[in-house]
Structure 1
Amino acid sequence: MDTSNVVYPSSEDDRERNLAAKAYAEFEGKNYSNAVTCLLRLAQFRQLDPRVMHNNAVASYYNGGLKKTDDFLKGMRSVETQLEKCAADTDDEVLDVERAVIVYNQALVQYHTRQYRKALSKLESLFKVIEPLVEERLGRRICFLLIEIYLRLYQNESASKMIAYVEKTVTGAKSGEKDAEGFLPDPSSFHQKTHMENLPLLYQYKARLSLALRSMKACKRDLKLLMDSTGGGNQFPLPLYLKAQLEFVRQNYRKSTRLLNSAPRSPAVLPSGESLLSIYFNNLGCIHASMKKHNLAAYYFRQSLVENDRALASFAPMSRAARLTGRPLTCLGLNRRYELLYNLGSQLLHCGDPVEAFDCLLEAVQVFHTNSRLWLRLAECCIRAIQKDENVTIGSRADGYKSKVIQSIIGSGLHQKVIVASYSQDKSTSAHGHGAAMPTLSLEFANICLRNAWQLLPRERDGAAESAEQGGAANGASEVYPSVHSIPPIKFSEVPSLKCSILACSAFISLCLGDYVMALEYGTQLLARANLSGLENLLGHLYVAEALINLGRLQDALQHLSMEIASNFNLSSTDDKASSSGPASGKPASDPKKEEVVCLLPGCTMTWNAGSAKAILFINLAVAYTMRKEYDKARKALQQASSSVRGQDLPPQGVLLAVFLELQAGNVSSVLHLLKRNQTGMAGRSGDRGNKKKR
């Protein structure tokens, strides 16, 4: 908070000057109650002086421990109104400086309440007239706060320009003055001692900017300068946390963990308004998430939530009438619950717990409702929950065994019948007492989430522009979509991949809901996009083919289920993208080097690899041939599906199709053999040829 000294004309009497000087001295000595007393006495002589009103508001705010922010903002508005009245009567440059102080104070409050864009608008307007302020503390504070906000909004280019300006102007360095280690001006060139105190902050900003730009060498150099300027050692947590983040970006996860463990972890809230324990556990969660240890990452995110709530509980709750009163200014933005819920929800989705993940992400969307990736994750939770319910219910029996092919066996002897599982049930849940817009784990709500995700993505950077951006983003320093307050931020280079995931999920949900026209449209749009991964290309063909089959266009469907598509399928480039993996699984991207069990079809659990993906395509091809009554071609396609998944069983749909084809050929013994392999309850009773299958 800036508290510039009040300047009075020489015509003031000695009494007023003495009161002003005494108030300033008391304030600088942190005797805020005495400063308020002096300013109130001074206000008796100068009741309408905006400078006295301003300094009285600032001193009163400090006297209350910076906890009555609502009253302070109200006082700033009164001072601003009085300044406008005075400006109409006189052309006083001091009033312009006083107006700059008010605008800065308002921007500072907005920064601490995380209204970064509003604060940025005010500070940029001040920076246009910063020349008369640059030699004052106010000028330096404006510059440093601008850098902080640029970094928080991921506007790296603007932050870089502002850092260069601070190096050249505010710290008194000459243009191009560097030593072997980089910028390190001679302390004797500083105009004031405060310039030397700004160096650690400047090196901190440079290190954070280098991290954002993925400039590892420059970041390492700036961190060394930061450690030297703070005296080194482990008593300062920020340099160690930045070093841990550097190792995290370099994928040295063990070293990053060691650095975090060596940093101080006080349970108390720092004066800067941060909970070190909450940050510590959150960082450990991010590290383990990158190591694909999702259950452990979820544990650490839960611990971070606990520490976040504990830090909030150390302050009195704020009322709705005065929501900025009762907590120090620096602690107004202490709550990080919603970011942590997003992190926890994404890991729970990886862990196969879509219900709890949905609850976490749904709470986070209250704050980050403009985040496209968050809406996509909500849709994935709905898809995964529906499929998880199918895997539990299909083929279950009360007498102790389960089968994903056989639902039950009724009768005995010659009258025994086998009831096969059905995979054609209606997945719609909106008719069960909930509207489509109700936040529930339904495919209808997932459809709404996907439309929100699509609408929140930028429209003007499509086609060739997106492809060019993808090529230029190899170093991770691509531009961030500026209009979205994101967690993590969405880069322009990630937009094409997100669009592919949204289209694939939309096609899948449309098929489940029986809207085959929209499924065909989404699938066609997906296949028309450039730089599709192998998985997205396969899903696009599968979804389009299924939609065409349901629309009665079998010949067109066969073109999307050709042998050429299966032979050209490649899974190696599917997981290095910013989007999720297959919408059929509803799971975010995973390590391509690590096999993972993924449900590709309802009731189907197969090890996800290129062979199982080809098997799905061949099964669909066999279905298309069966509908055309080309049974020989259907059998050959099923044989190719079996050869693609050597050592594994076909999914239930493939088994049921094989049963149907064998029945068409009259091979009852083969049918019984297939059913025995998928139903232990038939052992010892399957020799009777009178067994029948009910479809």
Structure 2
Amino acid sequence: MAEAEWDKNSNELELDLLTNVQKEFNKKNYEACLKILDQQGSGNQISEFKNHHNKAIVKFYMSNCKDYKNLLEFLVEHVAKFKGSSNEAKYSISTACYNMAVIYYQLRKPYAALEILNTIVNKIEDLDESIGCRIGLLMLSLLLQVNQVKKAVSFLKVLEKQLKICIENFTVEEYSSVDDVNGTDRMFRLMSLLTSIVNQNFVNVPEDGSAEFAVLKAHSYYVGKDFQMAAKQLSKKFTASWCPTINHGENEDTVISNNMGVIHLRVRHYAIAARFFQNAIQFDLKMSENWKNLSLHNMGASKMPEIMYNLGISMLHLQRPKDAFDCFLIPLKIYYKNPRLWLRVAESCIMFYEKNNTEIDKNRIVSSVIGTGIHRKYVLEPSPKIKFSEDGQSSAIPNPNLEFAALCLRNAVSLVESYKHKFITSENLDGMESDRVWNEVNDNNFCSPSIPVNKEAFDNLRAAIYAASSYVSIKLGDFVIALEYAKTLLELENLSDAYTMLGNLYCAESLVMLNRLVEARVHLEPKIVKNSNYFDFETRLWQLNSLEAAQAVIKYNLVVILVLQGEFDVAKAFLTTFTHPVVMNKVKLLKMYIEVATGKF
């Protein structure tokens, strides 16, 4: 929370006044504080600023920490006056800068808070110990909040040196009792353990009976992939009460429900995960139902965007695309630079299209058969019209249709291509880490609120975006664009077997629609999936759970091209070799078409 500034270097009279102010402030007697501050005489510019700053803080607390706008307006106006001033002036406004950063932190504007703290954090050893520790803790919290986890490790080492703190003492089992440490040391202990855990390092989290350490221990189990123990840890009845929301801006039920949902999501219990996320949303809404009367430290307590992101993922797995789409729109307002989130929105649109426009009884293409033998005739059903958008609405308006999916995927492509040049591999980091100061350490945190991505995950993300882009372009009839996306997909590094197959299929389909049949045949050679790992194809929508199924799909599409080229005899001979059930319905229809086209029954 915002801090007042008690100057210990003042003269004896001013020091007595400030001592009395601090006593009254600690007693929450704010009116008395203002009266004493009014007695303080005028001095130089810095002294007057401190006096006005303290009055602003007292008035802020008088409003029950709700009138943050006036405080922030005062801080922005007066701190700007000291930019470029002497070092003495800069150090004197460190508390004011800290207060500004706290306000932005609680308003969920972490990058604005980081920008402010970066101007003072490297000089915290010259500040008062209390404010120096608070600045360090806030900086560490902000780095973790924006998923700059490697930078947080480097900064923790800086704090250890500048504040003369032994971080190792915070991770040993003997240093376990809450009563043995003060509040600041306990926070450093929590943050140091959390920093190690999010960096995938094993640490022994002690049991001290508090909910904070219990949740932290569950987090360590989760990182270690011991999901059963993580769920068991969260299910405990804590001996110490959780810090109430009204005082500390944290809600036990919301945190635990969300974490339990994440655990079940990780082990593919999607329905159970969705139920936990829905419970977390209810707890979060109940906490913030009277938003206008919330104090500053409750403003940032809501975890709604992150929970809705998690619920959207669950809904996608549960084949509920419209619900997933509605969920993703909420975090999209905050995490609009996350290419993975744009992809998830597009996937919701694609699934909604598939469920509402392609659920057609394929067997009814032939409505009836008249006659037998060589006199047999087929009566075909008229082709159904595909509806791409609803009610003639613009594709710019968020709706789960393919037009909006195309917009989302364009954003995703632009983002991953820009991040591609910023991506730092682990090999590069190993060679540069020792030569860099803490604020030059790079994290591949392109997908907040998700954890930083490694090279393999980033390559898979790019492949998924280009594959989805090609598919949507084909469905919208943009075959030239679809071909470009598919070719780009095939040129990516470390492309998995599944995406190699998709890239070739989309290239072939686009070329067929562009009447470039000879080029399309190149992408449908059976050898394309000769050495594929069938585990890559395990998706319920594809129904491709084996290498044989994948090869059957490739061969079937090759036969389609043979038919289009008029090679009916070769195509018919090929069709007799098909045995896999994944294509048998289509094979029967294609045989009927060949019989109708050739007149040979």
Contact 1:171 1:195 in 2 (8 A): no
Contact 2:243 2:250 in 1 (8 A): no
- Taking the aligned partners of 1:92 and 1:166, their CA distance within structure 2 comes to 21
TM-score (norm 2): 0.87
Task: Say yes or no: does 1:2 pair with 2:3.
Answer: yes
Q: Kindly state the Cα deviation for residue 519 of structure 1 after the two structures are TM-superposed.
A: 1.6
SS of 2:486's equivalent? helix
Q: Kindly state the Cα deviation for residue 130 of structure 1 after the two structures are TM-superposed.
A: 2.6
Q: Kindly state the Cα deviation for residue 257 of structure 1 after the two structures are TM-superposed.
A: 0.8
- Taking the aligned partners of 1:105 and 1:335, their CA distance within structure 2 comes to 21
Q: Which has the larger radius of gyration?
A: 1
- Taking the aligned partners of 1:372 and 1:346, their CA distance within structure 2 comes to 15
Equivalent residue runs for 1:224-623 within 5 Å? 224=206, 227=207, 232-233=208-209, 236-264=210-238, 269=245, 271-313=247-289, 316-318=290-292, 326-392=293-359, 394-395=360-361, 404-407=362-365, 409=367, 419-420=379-380, 425-426=385-386, 428-429=388-389, 433-459=392-418, 461=420, 480-482=443-445, 484=446, 486-491=448-453, 493=455, 494-573=457-536, 596-598=539-541, 600=542, 606=543, 608-623=545-560
TM-score (norm 1): 0.76
Identical amino acids, percent of aligned pairs:
26
Q: Which has the higher helix share?
A: 2
**Residue 215 of structure 1 corresponds to which residue in structure 2?**
201
1:112-136 CA-to-partner distances (Å, cap 9, x unmatched) read: 2121111112112112333321x43
SS of 1:262's equivalent? coil
- Return closer, same or farther for 1:57/1:632 CA change in 2, 3 Å cut-off: same
Task: Say yes or no: does 1:206 pair with 2:192.
Answer: yes
Equivalent residue runs for 1:163-202 within 5 Å? 163-171=156-164, 173=166, 197-202=183-188
1:126-185 CA-to-partner distances (Å, cap 9, x unmatched) read: 12333321x431111111211111222222232222222333342455xxx968976999
- Return closer, same or farther for 1:507/1:131 CA change in 2, 3 Å cut-off: same
AA at the equivalent of 2:118: E
Gaps of 5+ in 2: 432-440
SS of 1:459's equivalent? helix
AA at the equivalent of 2:309: Y
Structure 2 residue corresponding to 1:22, chosen from 20, 29, 40: 20
SS of 1:572's equivalent? helix
Contact 1:533 1:571 in 2 (8 A): no
- Taking the aligned partners of 1:537 and 1:248, their CA distance within structure 2 comes to 33
SS of 2:349's equivalent? helix
Q: Kindly state the Cα deviation for residue 211 of structure 1 after the two structures are TM-superposed.
A: 1.5
Contact 2:153 2:196 in 1 (8 A): no
Count residues in correspondence. 584
AA at the equivalent of 2:522: Q
Equivalent residue runs for 1:134-173 within 5 Å? 135-171=128-164, 173=166
**Residue 583 of structure 1 corresponds to which residue in structure 2?**
none
**Residue 69 of structure 1 corresponds to which residue in structure 2?**
68
Q: Kindly state the Cα deviation for residue 667 of structure 1 after the two structures are TM-superposed.
A: 6.0
- Return closer, same or farther for 1:267/1:633 CA change in 2, 3 Å cut-off: farther
Contact 1:410 1:416 in 2 (8 A): no
Q: Kindly state the Cα deviation for residue 417 of structure 1 after the two structures are TM-superposed.
A: 7.5
Q: Kindly state the Cα deviation for residue 79 of structure 1 after the two structures are TM-superposed.
A: 4.6
Structure 2 residue corresponding to 1:631, chosen from 554, 568, 587: 568
Contact 2:483 2:510 in 1 (8 A): yes
- Taking the aligned partners of 1:180 and 1:381, their CA distance within structure 2 comes to 45
Structure 1 residue corresponding to 2:589, chosen from 638, 642, 656: 656
Q: Kindly state the Cα deviation for residue 373 of structure 1 after the two structures are TM-superposed.
A: 0.8
- Taking the aligned partners of 1:470 and 1:544, their CA distance within structure 2 comes to 37
- Taking the aligned partners of 2:226 and 2:305, their CA distance within structure 1 comes to 28
- Return closer, same or farther for 1:55/1:309 CA change in 2, 3 Å cut-off: same
Q: Kindly state the Cα deviation for residue 533 of structure 1 after the two structures are TM-superposed.
A: 0.8
Q: Kindly state the Cα deviation for residue 458 of structure 1 after the two structures are TM-superposed.
A: 4.5
- Return closer, same or farther for 1:661/1:267 CA change in 2, 3 Å cut-off: farther
Q: Kindly state the Cα deviation for residue 277 of structure 1 after the two structures are TM-superposed.
A: 0.7
1:426-470 CA-to-partner distances (Å, cap 9, x unmatched) read: 55438x512232222221211111001111224363699779789
- Taking the aligned partners of 2:124 and 2:9, their CA distance within structure 1 comes to 22
Structure 1 residue corresponding to 2:105, chosen from 99, 111, 114: 111
- Taking the aligned partners of 1:18 and 1:340, their CA distance within structure 2 comes to 50
Q: Kindly state the Cα deviation for residue 639 of structure 1 after the two structures are TM-superposed.
A: 3.7
AA at the equivalent of 1:34: A
Q: Kindly state the Cα deviation for residue 363 of structure 1 after the two structures are TM-superposed.
A: 2.9
- Taking the aligned partners of 1:623 and 1:111, their CA distance within structure 2 comes to 59
SS of 1:488's equivalent? coil
- Taking the aligned partners of 2:383 and 2:161, their CA distance within structure 1 comes to 69
- Taking the aligned partners of 1:194 and 1:128, their CA distance within structure 2 comes to 29
AA at the equivalent of 2:136: C
AA at the equivalent of 2:402: L
1:316-369 CA-to-partner distances (Å, cap 9, x unmatched) read: 332xxxxxxx32221110222121111111111111111111111123312222
Q: Kindly state the Cα deviation for residue 255 of structure 1 after the two structures are TM-superposed.
A: 1.0
**Residue 671 of structure 1 corresponds to which residue in structure 2?**
none
- Taking the aligned partners of 2:56 and 2:452, their CA distance within structure 1 comes to 41
Contact 2:146 2:448 in 1 (8 A): no
Q: Kindly state the Cα deviation for residue 542 of structure 1 after the two structures are TM-superposed.
A: 0.7
AA at the equivalent of 1:30: K
1:27-65 CA-to-partner distances (Å, cap 9, x unmatched) read: 233333322232234479999822221111112222332
AA at the equivalent of 1:658: K
**Residue 122 of structure 2 corresponds to which residue in structure 1?**
128
- Return closer, same or farther for 1:279/1:205 CA change in 2, 3 Å cut-off: same
Equivalent residue runs for 1:58-97 within 5 Å? 58-77=57-76, 79-80=78-79, 93=88, 95-97=89-91
Q: Kindly state the Cα deviation for residue 489 of structure 1 after the two structures are TM-superposed.
A: 3.9
SS of 2:583's equivalent? coil
SS of 2:337's equivalent? coil
- Return closer, same or farther for 1:443/1:660 CA change in 2, 3 Å cut-off: same
- Taking the aligned partners of 2:39 and 2:338, their CA distance within structure 1 comes to 52
AA at the equivalent of 2:4: T
- Return closer, same or farther for 1:267/1:470 CA change in 2, 3 Å cut-off: closer
Contact 1:240 1:263 in 2 (8 A): no
